[in-house]
Structure 1
Amino acid sequence: MALREEGPAHGAAMAAADALGARGEAHVWSWRTPERTDPDDLPLLDTEEFRRALSLPAERDAAAFVRSRAAARRALAGLFGLDPREIALGRRDCPGCGDGSHGPPKLVVPPARLALSLSRTAGCGVFAIGAGASIGVDAEALRPVRTGATSDPDLTPAERDHLRELAPGPERDAAFHRIWTRKEAVVKATGLGLSGVELGLLETHPARGGPVRITHTHRGRTTAWTVEDLRLFEDVAVALARPAGPAAHGPVHHHAHP
């Protein structure tokens, strides 16, 4: 699935990636997940992804996983003018422990210095690529939240107060998922995941429409992130986190199913 030679197509892809990075922009694709695995998706998976798909007991889960990996390659191929089978994905080392088996996703071919992030939830998937060293996207299907959500220890005092000010129902449900996707987008952007911070210390400023600035501290090091909510589906909350500052200052481009 990888380019064997650095021909004209490879050079054009790298030039397109460099231009994207120079503009500081991000691209986001979204799609509805199928109930059954699409045979056309399978040839785009690598060996490890194929094995993982086979290990998933539920057909719906396998179909969503397969579509996410195939869709990411189709998105990148369209962006860079390559065949999807030429796109190779891998993982960066975990910034917390150095393990290469569970770090953030990375683009191997073409070897562009861009950041990737994937998210799946019930019924849809989202893929993001952006300038800078890191990016994080999270999607959560909107659903009624439990009665005790306003006391959740993963929320900050300000977040709990904000939820308590809202009457139970769609508005409170949307606010809760806005909080959660903003938190998840940041921890995914850091590459540390949920183990990298106490979520109850991560302030998402849910009363603000965004973009918002969120800080993340791990082992004494604090990083700042610009987080915005994306309206891709009426029934799904989505948040995108990018490094605060000039490296990722450009626009976010939305694309339909790749």
Structure 2
Amino acid sequence: MTAPGKQPPSRTFGEPILISGPDGDWNRVRADLAEHACAVLYARLDDWRPERAGGPRLRALLGRDWARYLDLTHPEVRTRFASSRVLLKFAAAAALRVPPQSVELGYTPSGRPYLRGYDGVQISLSHTENLLLVGLATGAVIGVDAERSDRVLYGPNLGRHLCTPREVELIEAMDPAERDTALIRLWTLKEAYSKAIGLGMQFRFTDFGFETDGTPTEVRRPDGTPGTGTEWAFRTFYLDDEYTISVATGDSGFGGTGDTQAHTTLDGGIVDALTEALGDDETEAGAENEWW
């Protein structure tokens, strides 16, 4: 089920794709990238628990994140960190048609992940409780966020922490039973947009807003006037009446591409080195299962 409303003309979205392990429907992910220039996929934590990979394979999959993984001491945090990164690497590998262990993640100063050496595909990641969420985009920046749909956000300090003055006015005028649903949607949209522009929590949620009636729209200024145009597109989805997820994509100005294979986005020397190190057979369909 998706939020009602009219699609922005700049970009469309496919429905979120459930990926239940390495044998998931990666062809559908590639098809969404080709059709929409973005793909949104999600998974359940239990399907991507890191112990399934085993120590040496998990280390190969995590790459530079291995040291960070070892530094985490809380078991649930550690598991969610590893599982989300492995899913993200499998997703990127599916788009680029390379082995997942060859994908390396980098992080901006704000913590936004990116693919080292792959400029053609932008990525975003979110996770909460048992849900893992990944966004992929070509020719655009992307941000995704997820929250439980039953989370309670309504309270007396909306204007101090979450909402613009215009949003506070609209929320207070709503039926009390609808307020938290609207606020969760606003929260996830703001998180997704902040991730897409690379600022994370550095951009105060009281400084920008969205419509509260469930329609996809541009970013709004605190007074409710438009703050962006059709270069940005937004969408909210509801998963199994359990989670609310939102996606934000912004045109990078370079256009999309229907070809995301690594040889078109990587320097030829890097591709040759990877091929020599990993062997041609590693890139064949099904090879990624050897790493799980």
Q: TM-score scaled to structure 1, two decimals? A: 0.71
Q: Which residue of 2 aligns with 1:206?
A: 212
Shift of 1:149: 5.4
1:173-195 C-alpha deviation (Å, 9 max, x unpaired): 21111001111111111112121
- CA distance, structure 1, for counterparts of residue 72 and residue 116 of structure 2: 25
Q: Which residue of 1 aligns with 2:191?
A: 184
1:157 aligns with 2:165: yes
- CA distance, structure 2, for counterparts of residue 85 and residue 36 of structure 1: 15
User: Contact conserved, 2:167 with 2:212, CA < 8 A, in 1?
Assistant: yes
SS of residue paired to 1:116: strand
User: Contact conserved, 1:30 with 1:232, CA < 8 A, in 2?
Assistant: no
1:29-53 C-alpha deviation (Å, 9 max, x unpaired): 1012239943234245434422222
| CA RMSD in angstroms, aligned pairs only | 3.3
Structure 1 unaligned blocks of 5 or more = 1-15, 92-99, 251-258
1:104 aligns with 2:95: no
Q: Which residue of 2 aligns with 1:34?
A: 46
Letter in 2 for 1:230: F
1:50 aligns with 2:69: no
- CA distance, structure 2, for counterparts of residue 40 and residue 108 of structure 1: 26
Q: 2:101 aligns with which of 64, 85, 94?
A: 85
- CA distance, structure 2, for counterparts of residue 134 and residue 20 of structure 1: 13
- CA distance, structure 2, for counterparts of residue 67 and residue 179 of structure 1: 27
SS of residue paired to 2:141: coil
Identity among equivalent positions (%) equals 26
Describe the shift of the 1:24–1:89 C-alpha distance in structure 2 as closer, same or farther (beyond 3 A): same
Q: Which residue of 2 aligns with 1:73?
A: 89
- CA distance, structure 2, for counterparts of residue 152 and residue 38 of structure 1: 39
Point out the structure with the larger strand share: 1
Q: Which residue of 1 aligns with 2:243?
A: 236
- CA distance, structure 1, for counterparts of residue 256 and residue 235 of structure 2: 13
- CA distance, structure 1, for counterparts of residue 86 and residue 124 of structure 2: 14
Letter in 1 for 2:43: W
Point out the structure with the larger helix share: 2
User: Contact conserved, 1:24 with 1:132, CA < 8 A, in 2?
Assistant: no
1:208-227 C-alpha deviation (Å, 9 max, x unpaired): 422x111689xxxx765221
Q: Which residue of 2 aligns with 1:256?
A: none
User: Contact conserved, 1:73 with 1:85, CA < 8 A, in 2?
Assistant: yes
Q: 1:173 aligns with which of 175, 180, 190?
A: 180
- CA distance, structure 1, for counterparts of residue 49 and residue 111 of structure 2: 26
Q: TM-score scaled to structure 2, two decimals? A: 0.64
Structure 2 unaligned blocks of 5 or more = 1-28, 259-292
1:63-104 C-alpha deviation (Å, 9 max, x unpaired): 11111000011112233333211222223xxxxxxxx54453
SS of residue paired to 1:147: coil
Q: How many residues are treated as equivalent by the alignment?
A: 217
Letter in 1 for 2:182: A
- CA distance, structure 1, for counterparts of residue 176 and residue 123 of structure 2: 36
Shift of 1:134: 1.2
